[in-house]
């Protein structure tokens, strides 16, 4: 959307609301009309979409892989991208079998390039001094919060489990069952 606006010499941003309100409200109206049209078209097709769930995996998986391969190849027209797709697919399969979460890996691939560019920019501003990454108070606070997000939940789980086991009023199997019910209730809240 930003690229399309830039092609027509329209600078996207907050000033666009005051400088060219007709375009902004036209876009909003177009999106509203598009959503209404999608609703009108998709309600009758709900039955078809639910029947698509009954397509066997042996047919669906190769079809999705073929469409994905065509899309990956269409971006840069290199076989390296296809090999990378296959390699990441194998890695994802192994990670799923070993019960690793997929979200951090996908987030890393999506945000990795932006992180690398901004790291390069910060290092060029500081003439290669790596200390710029933790010198200001804001970065120290953010690093502390990131470490706390990683360290605190396992510690809390350990302390709760230890507290349940040291209460003495529940035998160990009952305490473990009680702990599992608490963690299951916690998972339902999140």
Q: What is the pLDDT of residues 113-153, one digit of tens each?
A: 889 999 999 899 989 888 888 888 898 999 999 999 999 99
- In 3D, which of 159, 190, 164, 158 has the Cα closest to residue 179? 164
pLDDT at 182: 66
Rounded to the nearest angstrom, the gap between the alpha carbon of residue 148 and the centroid of all alpha carbons in its chain is: 21
Residue 133: which residues within 8 A CB-CB, separation 6 or more? Answer: 122, 139
pLDDT tops 60 at residue 82: yes
CB atoms within 10 A of CB 27: 13
The share of the chain scoring above pLDDT 70, in percent, equals: 87
pLDDT at 92: 86
pLDDT at 173: 58
- Residues 22 and 16: their CA atoms lie apart, in Å, by 10
Work out the average pLDDT over 152-170.
80
- Residues 15 and 119: their CA atoms lie apart, in Å, by 29
Work out the average pLDDT over 91-119.
88
Work out the average pLDDT over 41-48.
91
pLDDT at 187: 58
pLDDT tops 70 at residue 99: yes
Torsion of CA 28, 30, 31, 32, to 10 degrees: 90
- Residues 143 and 141: their CA atoms lie apart, in Å, by 5
pLDDT at 84: 93
pLDDT at 32: 96
pLDDT at 7: 78
Confidence of residue 64 (pLDDT cuts 50, 70, 90): very high
Longest dimension (CA), the chain: 73
Chain position carrying tokens 């230890």: 162
- Residues 186 and 172: their CA atoms lie apart, in Å, by 21
Quote the tokens at residue 89.
Answer: 């697919």
CB 123 within 8 A of CB 132: yes
Could you say which DSSP state residue 127 is in?
T
Higher pLDDT, 123 or 13: 123
Residue 42: which residues within 8 A CB-CB, separation 6 or more? Answer: 49
Task: Give the CA distances from residue 176 to residues 161, 163, 170, 173, in Å, rounded to whole numbers and listed in that order.
Answer: 8, 11, 9, 5
CB 24 within 8 A of CB 30: no
pLDDT at 176: 63
Helix (H) / strand (E) containing 22: helix 21-42
Of 62-66, 77-81, 169-173, the one with minimum mean pLDDT is 169-173
């Amino acid at each position: 959307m930003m690229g399309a606006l830039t092609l027509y010499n329209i600078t996207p941003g907050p000033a666009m609301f005051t400088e060219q309100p007709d375009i902004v409200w036209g876009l909003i109206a177009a999106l509203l009309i598009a959503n209404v049209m999608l609703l009108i078209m998709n309600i009758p097709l709900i039955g078809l979409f639910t029947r698509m769930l009954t397509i066997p995996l042996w047919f669906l998986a190769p079809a999705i892989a073929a469409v994905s391969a065509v899309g990956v190849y269409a971006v840069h027209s290199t076989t390296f991208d296809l090999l990378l797709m296959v390699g990441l697919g194998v890695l994802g399969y192994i990670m799923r079998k070993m019960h690793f979460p997929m979200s951090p890996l996908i987030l890393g691939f999506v945000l990795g390039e932006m992180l690398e560019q901004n790291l390069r920019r910060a290092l060029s501003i500081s003439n290669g001094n790596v200390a710029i990454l933790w010198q200001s108070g804001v970065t120290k606070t953010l690093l502390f919060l990131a470490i706390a997000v990683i360290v605190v939940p396992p510690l809390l789980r350990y302390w709760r489990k230890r507290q349940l086991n040291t209460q003495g009023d529940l035998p160990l199997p009952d305490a473990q069952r009680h702990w599992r019910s608490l963690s299951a209730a916690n998972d339902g809240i999140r």
